[in-house]
A = this chain, B = another copy of it.
Amino acid sequence: MLSKKTKYGIKALVHLAKQEESSPVQIGTISLAENISQKFLESILLSLKKTGFLGSKKGKGGGYYLLKDPKDIPMTTVMRVLEGPIAMVPCVSLNFYEKCADCPDENTCAVNKIMLEVRDSTLKIFKNTTLHDLCL
């Protein structure tokens, strides 16, 4: 299941991507428009800033804005920053790989096998979908 953090984060990014001018949007504006707790959204936007998706401007007329063209932001990067691994088990994760404690051999593991397939098909979708595509 997708965490609220990820869901809200995507919604906020889409909100920003939909702006015609690239002028900063305030947290309060987004939280109101997308029905998100303002303080919670604040922490999400902050992490999106730290990971290089957003820029910010302080003071009056300030807010957050996208640093890149929405067409250049694939959903893989968004998902990995907000949600973490895309795979359903760590042993098939590309960016968050971990060996399973209980599993003696990944190559003969039935779970590994099918989850690898699922990861590939999901990854394909996220790779071929940009933030811009979500705005249509």
Residues of A within 8 A of B (CB): 1-2, 7, 10-11, 14, 34-36, 75, 85, 88-90, 101-104, 110-111, 113-115, 117-118, 121-122, 124-126, 129, 133-135
Contact = CB atoms under 8 A, between A and B. Distances in A.
Closest 4 CB pairs of A and B: A110-B134, A35-B102, A121-B121, A14-B110
Contacts of A75: 114
A89 B125 contact: no
Contact of A7 (B2, B7, B104, B111): B111
10 contacts: A1-B88, A2-B111, A7-B111, A10-B111, A113-B134, A114-B125, A114-B129, A114-B133, A114-B134, A121-B124
A90 B102 CA distance: 31
A4 to B, nearest CB: 9
A124 B121 CA distance: 10
Given A102-B34, A118-B122, A121-B121, A1 B85 contact: yes
A119 B134 CA distance: 16
Contact of A2 (B88, B102, B122, B126): B88
A121 B118 CA distance: 8
A126 B117 CA distance: 10
